[in-house]
Amino acid sequence: MISETMQKLLNDQIQKELYSAYFYLSMKAWFAEQNLDGFANFFDVQTKEERDHGMKFYDFIIHVGGKVTLQAIESPPCDFASPLDVFNQTLKHEQFVTASIYNLVNLAIEEKDHKTNSFLQWFVTEQAEEEATAEGNVRKLQLIGDNTQGIFMLDAELAKRVYTPIAPAP
């Protein structure tokens, strides 16, 4: 079993991951509107991965005999200033999610809940990767600036991203 506090925070995390899916789905639509299909593909993969993250928490709660309590998901922004603005917001959001995962790990350590801590380590690694990807794209877009050719080159690169379903928990 998991503690009541842990159950509450794990349920909160489902909401955060599903909000992330919603946020990136909105970014996908914005890029599709701009005819930047490679960027749209990147966020198509991203939104699917976030749904998988949410489901990983969902499955884990059930696996440990807890209760899943789904929460309302707020509307994400639907307009963005530029591709750089999108990736700046992505990076900021991923840093917020990382802080939330670290908070869960801290609680698991405090409660000597080794099972949940072990489960959470996958997310610690995943968050490092997600932040690095967002940061890399921020840097590229800063270099590109207003160069349209550079935007199209990055669009072609991001078109190659492929979705691979994430293994369910545990």
Q: Report whether 36 contacts 147 (CB < 8 A).
A: no
Residue 117, number of CB atoms within 10 A of its CB: 17
Indicate the residue among 31 and 43 with the shorter CB distance to ligand FEO.
43
Binding map of ligand FEO across residues 111-150, x = CB under 6 A, - = no contact: -------------------x--------------------
**Taking the complex as a whole, how short is the minimal distance between the CB of residue 88 and ligand FEO, in angstroms?**
15
Task: Say whether residue 47 binds ligand FEO (CB under 6 A).
Answer: no
Question: Which positions ≥6 away from 30 have C-beta within 8 Å?
Answer: 78, 79, 80, 86
Q: Report whether 86 contacts 27 (CB < 8 A).
A: yes
Binding map of ligand FEO across residues 65-104, x = CB under 6 A, - = no contact: -----------------------------x--x-------
Question: Which of 130, 168, 136 lies closest to 154 in space, CA to CA?
Answer: 136
Indicate the residue among 7 and 46 with the shorter CB distance to ligand FEO.
46
**Taking the complex as a whole, how short is the minimal distance between the CB of residue 117 and ligand FEO, in angstroms?**
18
Residue selected from 7, 11, 14, 20 as contacting ligand FEO according to rule CB under 6 A: 20
DSSP code of residue 72: -
**Taking the complex as a whole, how short is the minimal distance between the CB of residue 101 and ligand FEO, in angstroms?**
8
Tell me how far apart the alpha carbons of residues 74 and 66 are, in angstroms, rounded to a whole number. Answer: 25
Q: Report whether 54 contacts 17 (CB < 8 A).
A: yes
Task: Say whether residue 51 binds ligand FEO (CB under 6 A).
Answer: no
Residue selected from 23, 30, 50, 120 as contacting ligand FEO according to rule CB under 6 A: 50
Q: Is the dihedral of CA 120, 123, 128, 134 positive or negative?
A: negative
Chain positions contacting ligand FEO, by CB under 6 A: 17, 20, 50, 53, 94, 97, 130
